[in-house]
C-alpha cells in the first residue's frame, strides 16, 4: 500500500484525517513512523478536546446514546469524533460502530467523524492506535472525543486511561450481577448514567439510588469529584442536556483542583512506558542471538528443566552481547 505524504494542512479535511489514521493503523513500520512524525508536528494542536470514554453492557444503548448525544453536541457548534476500542475486532470495521445504522444522524453529520475500532491482535496494539487517532482528531479540530468500548477483558481500564472522564451506562431494571458489572468498572466511573429511563422512570430512579449507595462506600479515585448518578434516555433525549452540563462541571472542577492536569500527565507517562516496553520486547525477540536460543529456552522453562529466573538471565545476557 502506497500512501502519500500527509502534511499538517491536510488534516483539515476529512479525507486527510482518514488518511492519517490509515497510517496510524497500518502494520508497516514506515507508515507508523510517518504517523508519529506527523503527530510530533501537530502536538501543539492537540490536548484541547474533552475526552470522554463510554461503556456499558451490550444492548444498554451506547450507539443510540452516542448518536443523539453527539448530535446534540454538534447542534451546539461542537465537532465530535467517535472512536471505539474493541479488542475482539480482528479486522477493521469490527463489531462496535460497524453498524452505522444505529448512528444514522451522526454518520451523515458534517461535524462528526466516526471511526470503527482498529483491528489488532492485542489490546495494547488497539490502545496505541486509538490514542494516536485521538490526537489526530484533536489536531484536525475535533473538540469532543467520544471513545466507546465494550466490557471485554481490560478494555474499560484501557479506555479510562486515555480519557478525562469515563461514563458508564447502566440498565434500570437489573442488578449488578445481571449486568455483569465488574467492581472495577465502578472504580473507573466518573459519571454513571442509568439509561432508558423513558421505559420506567421509577425503576430508573431506584437503580440510580442503588449505584449512589454503591459509590458512597468506595473511595473516589479523584478526591475532588464524587461520581454523580444521572438518569437519561439516549433514545428520547431525556437528561442529555443536563448530562452535558455535568460533564462540563467535571471539566471545570478537575481543572481547578489540578486533577485534570495530573491525570493527563500520568496517562502520557504510562503511555510512554508502555511504548518503551513494546519496542524493547520487539528488539529483544528480533535480536539474532536471542532468536537462536529462545524457543529452546522456552521449552526447557515450560518443562521445568530450567528456572524462569535463570532463563531470563541467560537471554538478557545474549541480548546485551
Ligand atoms: N426505550 C429505550 N430504548 C432504547 C434506548 N436506547 C437504546 N434503546 C434500544 O435498545 C436497543 C439496543 O440499543 P443500542 O444503542 O444498539 O445498544 P448498544 O449498547 O450500542 O448495543 P451493542 O452495540 O450491542 O453493545 C435498541 O433496540 C434500541 O432501540 C432508550 O433510551 N430507551
Ligand atoms: Mg452499539
pLDDT band at 185 (very low <50, low <70, confident <90, very high): confident
Residue nearest (by alpha carbon) to ligand 1 atom 21: 59
CA of 195 to the centre of ligand 1 (A): 9
Q: Nearest Cα to 162, choosing from 118, 190, 193, 130?
A: 130
Q: Ligand 1 pocket, 234 CB below 6 A?
A: yes
Q: Ligand 1 pocket, 239 CB below 6 A?
A: no
DSSP 139: H
Task: Please check the confidence at residue 67 and state whether its pLDDT lies above 80.
Answer: yes
Q: Nearest Cα to 190, choosing from 246, 140, 245?
A: 246
Q: Nearest Cα to 85, choosing from 4, 179, 162?
A: 162
Q: What is the pTM assigned to this prediction?
A: 0.90
Q: Nearest Cα to 9, choosing from 20, 24, 23, 25?
A: 20
What average pLDDT score do residues 111-126 get? Answer: 86
Nearest ligand (C-alpha, residue 197): 1
What average pLDDT score do residues 52-61 get? Answer: 92
pLDDT band at 40 (very low <50, low <70, confident <90, very high): very high
Render pLDDT for 229-240 as a digit per residue (tens, 0 to 9).
Answer: 999 999 999 999
What average pLDDT score do residues 200-227 get? Answer: 88
- 149 C-beta neighbours (distance < 10 Å), count: 26
List the beta bridge partners of residue 54.
148, 167
Task: Please check the confidence at residue 93 and state whether its pLDDT lies above 50.
Answer: no
Percent of the chain topping pLDDT 70: 91
Please tell me the distance from the alpha carbon of residue 9 to that of residue 22, in angstroms, as a whole number: 17
236 versus 151: which is more confidently predicted? 236
Mutating to test ligand 1, I would choose from 57, 63, 84 the residue with most ligand atoms within 8 A of its C-beta, which is 63
Q: Which range is least confidently modeled, 206-210, 289-293, 300-304?
A: 206-210
What average pLDDT score do residues 167-181 get? Answer: 73
Percent of the chain topping pLDDT 90: 66
Residue nearest (by alpha carbon) to ligand 1 atom 8: 61
Per-residue pLDDT at 302: 96
Task: Give CA separation, 164 vs 136, 156, 266, 280, 312, in Å.
Answer: 17, 13, 12, 29, 38
* Residue tagged 467523524 (cell numbers): 113
The conformational region for residue 59 under phi > 0 = left, psi -120 to 50 = alpha, else beta, is: left
Residue-range domains of the chain with CATH: 45-257 (3.40.50.300), 272-320 (no CATH)
Please tell me the distance from the alpha carbon of residue 298 to that of residue 159, in angstroms, as a whole number: 33
pLDDT band at 182 (very low <50, low <70, confident <90, very high): low
Nearest ligand (C-alpha, residue 60): 1
Q: Which atom of ligand 1 is nearest to the CA of 64?
A: 15
Amino acid at each position: 500500500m502506497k500512501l502519500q505524504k500527509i502534511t499538517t494542512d491536510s488534516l483539515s479535511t476529512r479525507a486527510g484525517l482518514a488518511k492519517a489514521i490509515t497510517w496510524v493503523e497500518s502494520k508497516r513500520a514506515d507508515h507508523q513512523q510517518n504517523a508519529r512524525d506527523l503527530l510530533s508536528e501537530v502536538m501543539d494542536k492537540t490536548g484541547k478536546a474533552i475526552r470522554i470514554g463510554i461503556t456499558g453492557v451490550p444492548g444498554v444503548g451506547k450507539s443510540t446514546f452516542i448518536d443523539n448525544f453527539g448530535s446534540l453536541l454538534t447542534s451546539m457548534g461542537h465537532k465530535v469524533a467517535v472512536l471505539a476500542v474493541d479488542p475482539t475486532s480482528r479486522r477493521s470495521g469490527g463489531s462496535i460502530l460497524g453498524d452505522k445504522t444505529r448512528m444514522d444522524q451522526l454518520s451523515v453529520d458534517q461535524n462528526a467523524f466516526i471511526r470503527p475500532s482498529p483491528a489488532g491482535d492485542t489490546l495494547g496494539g488497539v490502545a496505541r492506535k486509538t490514542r494516536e487517532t485521538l490526537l489526530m482528531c484533536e489536531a484536525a479540530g475535533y473538540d469532543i472525543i467520544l471513545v466507546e468500548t465494550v466490557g471485554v477483558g481490560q478494555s474499560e481500564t484501557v479506555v479510562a486511561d486515555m480519557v478525562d472522564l469515563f461514563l458508564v451506562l447502566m440498565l434500570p431494571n437489573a442488578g449488578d450481577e445481571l449486568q455483569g458489572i465488574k467492581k472495577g468498572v465502578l472504580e473507573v466511573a466518573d459519571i454513571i448514567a442509568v439509561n432508558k429511563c423513558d421505559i420506567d422512570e421509577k425503576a430508573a430512579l431506584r437503580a440510580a439510588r442503588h449505584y449512589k449507595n454503591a459509590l458512597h462506600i468506595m473511595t473516589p479515585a479523584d478526591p475532588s469529584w464524587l461520581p454523580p448518578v444521572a438518569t437519561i434516555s439516549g433514545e428520547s433525549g431525556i437528561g442529555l442536556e443536563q448530562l452535558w452540563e455535568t460533564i462540563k462541571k467535571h471539566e471545570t472542577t478537575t481543572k481547578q483542583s489540578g486533577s485534570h492536569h495530573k491525570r493527563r500527565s500520568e496517562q502520557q507517562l504510562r503511555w510512554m512506558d508502555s511504548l518503551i516496553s513494546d519496542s524493547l520486547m520487539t528488539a529483544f525477540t528480533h535480536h539474532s542471538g536471542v532468536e537462536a536460543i529462545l524457543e529452546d529456552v522456552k521449552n526447557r522453562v515450560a518443562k521445568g528443566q530450567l528456572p524462569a529466573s535463570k532463563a531470563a538471565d541467560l537471554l538478557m545476557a545474549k541480548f546485551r552481547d
